[in-house]
Chains A and B, each alone.
Chain A
Amino acid sequence: MADTLTVRTAGITTVQDLGRVGRSRYGLPVGGAADQHSARVANVLCGNDEHAPLLEITALDFACVPSADILVAVTGAPADVSVEGAARPMWEPVPVRAGDTLRVTGIRQGLRVYLAVLGSFTADYLQGSCAPDTILGFGPALRDGAELSLRRTCPAFDHPYSRIPLFRLHAPVPAFPSTWTIDVTDGPDRAEFADTAPRLFDAPFTVSPQSNHIGLRLRGERLPRRVTEGEVLSRGVPIGAVEVPAGDELLVLHRGRGVTAGYPVLAVVTATGLSALGQVRPGQTIRFRHRTLEQAVTAHRAQRGAVDALRTRVRTAFDALRIRAPDGD
């Protein structure tokens, strides 16, 4: 019989991956984990391919029980992680024995937690990805009692004497501040906002409750205003586009955005900024920070480079512990 991971408390949890890459030409948004960095790190900490299915747990408490010994990693927003009531670290691999309850509770400062399992689990795919898409009606939230088929197990192990945490892998942990700084570069239509464009950086914005993986709505004191007239012909807009509709809110497009739009794009959130934005809770405030394209690219490469370096450390640690890494399964 196949081993399973049974969800006891689902909260708001979906099966995710890094998204439906390469389908934007056919009108499909890429979607995928809202905080790509944390999702990537969770899989890498389990020795998985970074595109492997994992769980995205949003805001509410979560609990699950495996039917076999497994290794997991929990990343993303700060939360309390425990196995049979004993605290376990985030951002490190954590062994869970068959029948033990793994809990993620008290998600705070951010919105989303990622839970990866060594070897991952089987997932339904559509158009090359298991990421949910609300328009396609694909990838429903998990319910209490849902069973995920584990693709691998991992024999239980522990430090024979000290029982101290086994791993010190120094995963790159992003900041989870109370006021977020979100990096942006100039957008293609910045000139249409003339001297109102710097208002984007003058004061903080509050994230409205009508925000999700499609886009975030932001309220502010003085919004930039488009000074030109005329309709913009529909065209492809990038993830991270900061749009200024006629109302009193800014719109920032996230990974579930429709691929085309007609609003002028004032600025574009950077790749690292998008992962951070995937963690911002409704009601929190953000400040935009202007970056040059070069600064933005450098930051993204540094973040990805840190994950690559982590992958090497995980391999070394797994080899030393004789854990068969699932990479390339």
Chain B
Amino acid sequence: MNGNLTITDCGDSALVAKAVGLGTEDAWRLVHALADALDAVRLTGVQGVVPTYDALLVELDCADTDHETVRRVLWHEAARLGPTPGPTTAPRHFVVPVVYGGEHGPDLPEVAARLGLTESELVDLHCGSDLTVRCLGAPAGAPMMDGPPFPAPVPRLASPRTRVEPGVVAVAGRQAVICPMPSPGGWPLLGRTPLRVLDLHDDPITPYRPGDTFRFVPITPDRWNDYADAPLAACRG
């Protein structure tokens, strides 16, 4: 058994394993290690795993397996991993050029004002540290990162946009994200990268994994074409 985990049924086609009593970092490590372990087992009837911050959703077809079997395997793997598993893969690092403000980052002035910062102070904070990808989310494998050290959380837009362009760089709450595909979006936009964030035909679809780090680098709009449509790729590690 692993005292730092609860496993709950979540309808007839899913279970949720949740890390409890652990710090943010350890909880995140545990649910992602557990997801990797379950993927490696390739258990019949398990159709998907969604590890996020402190929870792991396991999707299953209950005609091909049952909750008890999946639960037993999760407990077994959790016991094997222990409460504070190390990373399963070495983190890689991505450098992402971003054109801030203007047409690409229409919410930059308002976010800066709300946080009591100048626009360049906001950009400096957004670019000033490596941001860790915590999970992949909607839309389409978007890297969800712990946000830059802003002085306060950033509220979502009162009215979401019906479409944001691929590559936009957005923040909300204490999180940062790049939207890889055109999609509706309620997060304030700070800028946009000219890089092609993912290739729909790659398998897996994203070049990055949870645990990898991103560093944003400001570029001027006239350098857009130097990077346009180049694939996002890890630069070291």
A238 and B227 alpha carbons, distance in the complex (Å):
38
Give Cα A128 to B201, complex, Å.
10
Check if A258 sits within 8 Å of B14, measured CB to CB: no
Residue of A nearest to B141 (CB): A27
Q: Does B88 contact A (CB under 8 A)?
A: no
Q: Is there contact, CB below 8 Å, between B50 and A236?
A: yes
B47 within 8 A of A: yes
Q: Is A73 an interface residue (CB 8 A)?
A: no
A46 CB-CB contact with B under 8 Å: no
CA distance A245 to B225 in the complex (A): 42
Q: In the bound complex, what is the Cα–Cα distance between A126 and B13 (angstroms)? A: 24
Residue of A nearest to B58 (CB): A236
Among B13, B39, B182, B201, which residue has the most Cβ atoms of chain A within 10 A?
B13
Stretch at the interface among A84-92, A134-142, A163-171, A201-209: A134-142
In whole angstroms, how far apart are the Cα atoms of A137 and B140 in the complex?
11
If A21-B48, A24-B48 touch, whether A240 touches B11 (CB-CB below 8 Å) is: yes
User: Does any Cβ of A come within 8 Å of B57's Cβ?
Assistant: yes
Contacts of A127 in B (CB 8 A): 200, 203, 205
Q: Which residues of A contact B53 (CB under 8 A)?
A: 233-235
Contact with B along A235-252 (1 / 0, CB 8 A): 111111100000000000
| Docked-complex contact A30 and B47, CB < 8 angstroms | yes
Chain B binder among A53-61, A102-110, A293-301: A293-301
A22-B48, A23-B205 given; A260·B200 CB < 8 A: no
CB distance from B184 to the nearest CB of A (A): 9
**How many angstroms from the CA of A113 to the CA of B86 in the assembled complex?**
49
Chain B's interface size range is 35 or more
Q: How far is the CA of A273 from the CA of B4 in the complex (A)?
A: 34
State the Cβ distance, A263 to closest chain B Cβ, in Å: 13
CB distance from B102 to the nearest CB of A (A): 26
Given A23-B48, A24-B59, A26-B205, the answer on whether A238 and B138 have CB atoms closer than 8 Å is no
Residues of B within 8 A of A231 (CB): 173
Query: B58 to chain A: closest CB distance in Å?
Result: 9
B137 nearest in chain A by CB position: A260
| A-B interface pairs (CB < 8 A), number | 151
B5 contacts the other chain (Cβ, under 8 Å)? no
Interface residues of B in 76-115 (CB under 8 A from A): none
Contact of B138 among A23, A128, A259, A305 (CB under 8 A): A259
Instruction: Kindly report which residue of chain B lies nearest to residue A274, judged by CB atoms.
Output: B13
Q: Does A172 contact B (CB under 8 A)?
A: no
Query: How many whole Å from B97's CB to the nearest CB in chain A?
Result: 23
Q: Could you tell me if A25 and B201 are in contact, using CB atoms closer than 8 angstroms?
A: no
Residues facing A in B23-52 (CB within 8 A) are: 35, 39, 47-52
What is the 8 Å Cβ interface bit string for chain A, positions 249-275, against chain B (1 contact, 0 not)? Answer: 000000000111000010011110000
Q: Which of A126, A235, A269 contacts B11 (CB 8 A)?
A: A269
User: B13: which A residues are within 8 A, CB to CB?
Assistant: 238-240, 268, 271
Asked if A16 is an interface residue, CB under 8 A from chain B, the answer is no
Which B residues are in CB contact (< 8 Å) with A185?
Answer: 9, 11-12
**Contacting A28 at CB < 8 Å: which of B52, B54, B205?**
B205
In the complex, A174 has a CB within 8 A of chain B: no
Name the one of A30, A236, A259, A270 contacting B56, with C-beta atoms under 8 angstroms: A236
Whether B54 pairs with A258 at a CB distance below 8 angstroms is: no
| B139 interface contact, C-beta 8 A | yes
Whether A187 is near chain B, meaning CB under 8 Å from some CB there, is: yes
Known A-B contacts A25-B35, A136-B200; A258 and B139 likewise in contact (beta carbons under 8 Å):
yes
B120 within 8 Å of A (CB atoms):
no
- Neighbour of B12 across the interface among A22, A233, A260, A293, CB < 8 A: A293
Residues of A within 8 A of B56 (CB): 236
Q: With an 8 A cutoff between CB atoms, is B16 at the interface? A: yes
Which one of B60-68, B216-224, B228-236 is at the A interface?
B60-68
Minimum CB–CB distance from A251 to chain B (whole Å) comes to: 14
Chain A hits for B173, CB < 8 A: 231
B204: Cβ under 8 A from any A Cβ? yes
Say yes or no: B14 contacts A268, CB within 8 Å.
yes
Whether a CB of chain A sits under 8 angstroms from the CB of B169 is: no
25 A-B pairs with CB atoms under 8 Å apart are A22-B47, A23-B48, A24-B47, A25-B49, A25-B136, A25-B204, A28-B140, A30-B47, A127-B203, A136-B200, A184-B11, A185-B11, A231-B173, A234-B135, A234-B137, A234-B144, A235-B53, A236-B52, A238-B13, A258-B139, A259-B50, A259-B137, A271-B12, A293-B11, A300-B62
**Nearest 3 pairs between A and B by C-beta?**
A258-B138, A236-B57, A268-B11
